Amino acid sequence: MKKNIYEDFLVNKDEANIDEIQQMLEFSSHLGKQTFFQVEKFYKKGDETRLKEDYNLQNSGISYFLDPCRKEKLSNLKHLISNVKDLRNIFQHASYTLTETDIFDIKQYLIILLKIIDDFPLKKIPVFEEKDINFIADLLKLIDPDYPFFPTFAIYKNSSTKMKELIEQLESLETNKSVLEEDIIKSLKNAGLKTSFSHPSIYLKDENEPDKFSNDRIIVVEETSKYFKVQPKPTKELIEIYDKINLIQNEIVSEKLKICEDLTKKIFLFKQKIVRSFEIVGIIDSYLAKITFAININGIVPEITEDELQLVDARNLILEKILHSQNLTYSPLNFKMNQGVAILTGSNMGGKTCSLKTIAQISYLVHSGLLVPAKKVSTPLFNGIYISKSATSFINEGLSSFGYELMSLKPYFDSRDNHYLFLLDEPASGTNPAEGKAIVRALALQLSNSRSHAVLSTHFDGISEGIECKKYCIKGFTEENIKKMSEYLDESEEISIQQIHRFIDHNLIEITTENQVPKNAITLLHLFKFSKSFIDLCESFSKE
């Protein structure tokens, strides 16, 4: 499955901010972007060996390019790749004859390609085979026998015997032409007229006698009431030279076409290797984008397991950036489970949804062959990821949240023994509580007995009863933080969302029973300055 067609792999991808993650990849050309998204595939269950090999190659590159002695090599390579012009369309038509410009472009590309290959440590990082690029020097010598190779190309007199004869004739005629033109210009100058064959001269009428321009050695090319525009008149001998020059120039054009046709045939013998070389540039660019991404996010290589899914200090790259821009502290995710189901509970605004999105992001990066932002990650490979869609998306599509949820989840839930990762954010919350709780318990029970991994966040109590599963909750408002909030509770000023987040502990803690889940909804009523009578009523109802 290609990475740009991942809807069947990562369902509801927008919920995990995957587009923003992809924009963090720094490709130097469309060749690398095309390779990453359209050629390289997602790793899925069964691809563990290939993925480990990919990670080993990336580790080698990171070690190589981060060496202080080679700190410029990575940027130099990316700069060279950014100058590559994609010429593959030239080779799509077998009957096409290359022009001088085409041949120049091919030569320019080969010179850049030679520099890329020379700078890329292929022996340490074998991302392609050396035999695929050993044609470059031979093709350059065919196009331009002179060495060193300069990024220019023109058909010179030594391109063929006939071309040599034609250019020598042309040079002789040009010399004779220059001598005759110079003689005419000198004679006109002696007669008081300064002009040239290439640039007509202008003389004002009130300063010159009209008879002065009746000379048979000049031509009046333009006359107005105010001026004459004149130029020298060529002699019969000079006109004959002009005609010969035109004839020879036409022959040179014909000969150039023949030379281009001959070079085209020779260059097209390398057609497959040239086209393959653009694929290699794409492979190198994609590889450099991956290791640059790893360096930028301080990524680590995850451990690929058969069953265990563990995240230690895992970071949601998008959320981390947003919180830092607001001067808020980001809490990395710590989580561990095995095949089956994990129940995630906690207060609203605590971070349950963000935890699911972080797991989705990390898993997407692994299956894309990218290093991950964490202290440690252990994960199996999956055959697909399902993450719940947000409520705003249901409205946009004209469906109830519960209706869309059922419709989108069913095909994956039916295939739950096919090693999927389910990230279900408060499922069945859009229906009545009694039925909702029953549905969530049934989901949890069946997923716990499947070959998939499922993380299920919920507000319903008692979901894990009788089910073997991991149970986590968001710490939320700790006693220590509630004490810190007292200053806000005593003030009339409204508290902002940013201020509230400062007092919420977003870390996950593993619990043994759902009775340990903190109840923080009424604390939020205090923070949002609801009336005391309303809060008292809520507290009395909560005890019933």
| Digit-coded pLDDT (tens) for 425-468 | 888 877 788 888 888 899 999 999 999 999 998 888 888 888 88
454 vs 475, higher pLDDT:
454
Q: Residue 510 phi/psi, 5° resolution?
A: -80, 135
* Tally of CB atoms within 10 A around 102: 18
323 vs 33, higher pLDDT:
33
Question: Does residue 395 register a pLDDT over 70?
Answer: no
b/e map of 43-56 (b: 16 or more CB within 10 Å)?
Answer: bbbebeeebeebbe
147 vs 365, higher pLDDT:
365
Predicted local confidence at residue 378, as pLDDT: 97
To the nearest whole percent, how much of the chain has pLDDT over 90?
A: 42
pLDDT single digits (tens) 159-174: 778 888 888 899 999 9
Q: How far apart are CA 200 and CA 222, in angstroms?
A: 10
Structure tokens at 178: 């220059």
Q: How far apart are CA 450 and CA 201, in angstroms?
A: 94
449 vs 517, higher pLDDT:
449
Q: How far apart are CA 266 and CA 274, in angstroms?
A: 12
Asked whether the beta carbons of 77 and 116 are under 8 A apart, the reply is yes
Question: Chain-wide mean pLDDT for the chain?
Answer: 84
Q: Comparing C-alpha atoms, which of 42, 51, 5, 12 is closest to residue 360?
A: 12
Question: Does residue 399 register a pLDDT over 60?
Answer: no
Q: Mean per-residue pLDDT for 20-48?
A: 93
Question: Does residue 490 register a pLDDT over 60?
Answer: no
Residues paired with residue 278 on neighbouring β-strands, in sequence order = none
Q: Mean per-residue pLDDT for 22-33?
A: 95
Predicted local confidence at residue 73, as pLDDT: 92
Question: Does residue 254 register a pLDDT over 80?
Answer: yes
DSSP notation for 117-136: HHHS-TTTS-SS-GGGGTTH
Work out whether the CA dihedral 262, 268, 273, 274 comes out positive or negative.
positive
Estimate to the nearest angstrom the gap between the alpha carbon of 190 and the chain centroid. 70
Question: Does residue 271 register a pLDDT over 50?
Answer: yes
Q: Comparing C-alpha atoms, which of 369, 276, 361, 283 is closest to residue 42?
A: 369
Predicted local confidence at residue 485, as pLDDT: 62
Asked whether the beta carbons of 359 and 315 are under 8 A apart, the reply is no
Q: Mean per-residue pLDDT for 512-537?
A: 72
Predicted local confidence at residue 491, as pLDDT: 57
Predicted local confidence at residue 1, as pLDDT: 43
6's CB contacts (< 8 A; 6+ apart) are 13, 18, 42
pTM, entire model = 0.81
If residue 356 lies in a helix (H) or strand (E), which one and from where to where? helix 352-367
Asked whether the beta carbons of 409 and 419 are under 8 A apart, the reply is no
Structure tokens at 433: 């509580």
Question: Does residue 88 register a pLDDT over 90?
Answer: yes
Question: Does residue 143 register a pLDDT over 90?
Answer: no
Q: How far apart are CA 145 and CA 509, in angstroms?
A: 71
Q: How far apart are CA 427 and CA 388, in angstroms?
A: 8
Q: How far apart are CA 524 and CA 347, in angstroms?
A: 9
